[in-house]
Amino acid sequence: MSEDREPGARPVGVPLWSPDARPAPFPASPPLPGVPVPLEADPHDLRADPHDLRADPHDLRADPHDLRADPHDLRADPHDLRADPHEQLCDALRGVRAALLDMDGVVVLKGRPIEGAGQAIASLRARGIPFRFLTNSSLWNRDSLAARLSGAGIGVRADEIVTALSASAALAARRWRDRPIYVLAAPDGLREFDGQWLVGDDEAAQLGRDAPARVAAVVVGDAGPGFTYERLNAAFRLVRGGARLVAVHRNRWWLTPEGETIDSGAFVRALEYACGRRSLLVGKPSPAFFSEALASLWRAGGTVAGDPALDRRDILMVGDDLQSDIAAARRVGLRAAFVLSGKHGPRDLDLARRRGRQGLPDAVATSLAEIVAALG
């Protein structure tokens, strides 16, 4: 009987739901260079069940039993058999004319400058390649950040930095100019909100009890040790009373001189859980945040402004986070280079490749210095 069937036809008598009726799965194909790939579910997208914590999208530990890949050299694409990694990198970056740079893990790590980062920034400037820092780091305002970076040998101006906190302040100024907001952030970072109507801790606590609807929004940034129970409870009451919950970012952790450190995303999640409300995400991986940095590039003039031939694929995002930097940049049509100098490492990249994750980097390098040296 079965010899008479058309190839691939369902065997007679086998129901559709039977395992025997399932077609064999196609093997995963490596992504084609230059072809935008649709992304898998955004781990920061709260449409998914926020109570399902079984799958950790940030847990990219490699399978220790898989010995196929060489863990010591993951810069090269294992599917690309050309020998010279530098040549591959030059090819992958050909045509790049502007850059967006993450900060932590790209130019600084644990509060110290990464080797070669200062020279790389100076080289971009000298060659007329426009750039912007695009960072979720929100402990400081941009003036302080520029001063700290320049003091560490990384010459950058405040107007070349876009932080998740500065974008949050701009959002608040547009939406709630005439209404009070409550901001959880470090004192230096709060200066981004100069001129806006902020309520202090005591007032927030009182309004939370008596008139929470008066407050338009609660903005949660990098408050660090300032994430006290009293402040979080005041924020909780205000959001329950109708204030919009705004997440400067939702990063889970970051690297400080003391090691891996809990980040403000954990407190955003706590408030979301307690309030039963989703937050409005401002920083990476939000597409709007990338648009803000691109707008800053256009406003600045220089070689890219007003150039009708410039495509988003001519703009390179350099980052150390495979989700917030790389996958997010790919999603908005930018080219993306992953550097191994920060948060995620070779094993994370290897596992992402073997899992067939979408939004993989166009290029991989050890550092920003290696990226800049490969730009044509």
Is residue 39 classed as helix, strand or coil in its secondary structure?
Answer: coil
Cis peptide, bond prior to residue 19, ω within 30 of zero = no
Handedness of CA 303, 306, 309, 315 (dihedral sign): positive
Handedness of CA 224, 149, 349, 259 (dihedral sign): negative
CB of 82 to Mg ion, least distance (A): 29
Which DSSP state fits 312?
Answer: G
Handedness of CA 156, 345, 259, 287 (dihedral sign): positive
Name residue 112's beta-bridge partners: 109
CB of 294 to Mg ion, least distance (A): 19
Q: Which residues contact 232 (CB under 8 A, 6 or more apart)?
A: 184, 267, 270, 271
| CB nearer Mg ion, residue 180 or residue 221 | 221
Residue 157 in tokens:
């101006």
| CB nearer Mg ion, residue 234 or residue 372 | 372
Token pair 């950040």 in the structure block, residue: 145
CB of 109 to Mg ion, least distance (A): 9
Q: Please name the helix (run of DSSP H) or strand (run of DSSP E) that holds residue 184, with its range, or none.
A: strand 181-184
Dihedral angle over CA of 132, 249, 232, 244, nearest 10 = 100
Q: Angle at CA 267, nearest 5°, toward 265 and 270?
A: 115
Residue 67 in tokens:
């010995």
116 close to 367: Cβ distance less than 8 angstroms: yes
| CB nearer Mg ion, residue 106 or residue 171 | 106
| CB nearer Mg ion, residue 102 or residue 348 | 102
Using CB under 5 A as the criterion, which residues of the chain lie in contact with Mg ion when the complex forms?
Answer: 102, 104-105, 320
| CB nearer Mg ion, residue 102 or residue 370 | 102
CB of 250 to Mg ion, least distance (A): 14
| CB nearer Mg ion, residue 193 or residue 254 | 254
CB of 92 to Mg ion, least distance (A): 20
| CB nearer Mg ion, residue 148 or residue 214 | 148
CB of 104 to Mg ion, least distance (A): 4
Q: How far apart are CA 132 and CA 161, in angstroms?
A: 6
| CB nearer Mg ion, residue 88 or residue 251 | 251
CB of 343 to Mg ion, least distance (A): 5
Task: DSSP for 76-135, please give it.
Answer: S-TT---S-HHHHHHHHHTT--EEEE-SBTTTEETTEEPTTHHHHHHHHHHTT--EEEEE
CB of 312 to Mg ion, least distance (A): 21
| CB nearer Mg ion, residue 222 or residue 320 | 320
Where on the phi/psi map is residue 196: left (φ > 0), alpha (ψ -120 to 50), or beta? beta
Q: How many CA atoms does the CB half-sphere of 256 hold within 13 Å?
A: 9
Name the residue whose CB lies closest to Mg ion.
Answer: 105
| CB nearer Mg ion, residue 199 or residue 316 | 316
Is residue 163 classed as helix, strand or coil in its secondary structure?
Answer: strand
CB of 119 to Mg ion, least distance (A): 20
